[in-house]
């Protein structure tokens, strides 16, 4: 699958890249004119400077980077964030600081990863009753720890 990409050239934007041959996610970088500080408990919308043309039948997902999460408490909100195939605006990443210290984002920092998936659209059929299952309506915590 190929993804057409346009980059905002104001901040020397780098296209997403896979760090290893087995990487599922391509790292996405911040495209900021000035550093952004995320204080503990705060959230920010970080621009990436990239615009995508995803083929119909696919979606992009924005996911956290595990190193930022474990080492600094930085993760993505609305995770995974979906990039629809018909969206042509700039990809931006919602980050939150769950850590105890301020976190500084500089231009070019790897802030998230992007994964692409084939999607299926559901055909919703209204029914008067649903079939019975082993789990049935038992929800949160019903299968134990």
pLDDT at position 137 is: 83
Q: pLDDT tens digits, the chain, 145 residues: what are they?
A: 899 998 876 667 788 999 999 999 999 999 999 999 999 999 999 999 999 999 999 999 999 999 999 999 999 999 999 999 999 999 999 999 999 999 999 999 999 999 999 999 999 999 999 999 888 888 888 777 8
pLDDT at position 11 is: 60
pLDDT at position 13 is: 76
The distance between the two most distant Cα atoms of the chain, rounded to a whole number of Å, is 57
Three-state SS across the chain? CCCEEEECHHHCCCCCECCCCCCCCEEEECCCCCCEEECCCCEEEEEEEEEEECCCCEEEEEECCHHHHHHHCEEECCCCEEECCCCCCEEEEEEEECCCCCEEECCCCEEEEEEEEECCCCCCCCCCCCCCCCCCCCCCCCCCC
CA–CA separation, 111 and 28 (whole Å): 6
Fold that domain 4-118 belongs to in CATH: Deoxyuridine 5'-Triphosphate Nucleotidohydrolase; Chain A (2.70.40)
What's the pTM?
0.87
CA–CA separation, 55 and 38 (whole Å): 34
Provide the residue ranges of all domains of the chain, joining segments of one domain with +.
4-118
pLDDT at position 9 is: 65
């Amino acid at each position: 699958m190929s993804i057409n990409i346009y980059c905002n050239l104001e901040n020397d934007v780098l296209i997403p890249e896979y760090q290893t041959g087995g990487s599922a996610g391509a790292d996405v970088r911040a495209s900021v004119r000035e550093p952004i500080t995320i204080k503990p408990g705060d959230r920010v919308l970080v621009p990436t400077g990239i615009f995508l043309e995803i083929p119909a039948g696919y979606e992009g997902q924005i996911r956290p980077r595990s190193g930022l999460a474990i080492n600094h408490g930085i993760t993505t909100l609305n995770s995974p964030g979906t990039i629809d195939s018909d969206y042509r605006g700039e990809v931006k990443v919602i980050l939150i600081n769950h850590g105890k210290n301020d976190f500084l984002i500089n231009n070019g920092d790897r802030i998230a990863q992007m994964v692409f998936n084939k999607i299926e659209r559901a055909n919703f059929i209204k029914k008067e009753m649903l079939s019975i299952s082993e789990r049935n309506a038992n929800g949160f915590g019903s299968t134990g720890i």
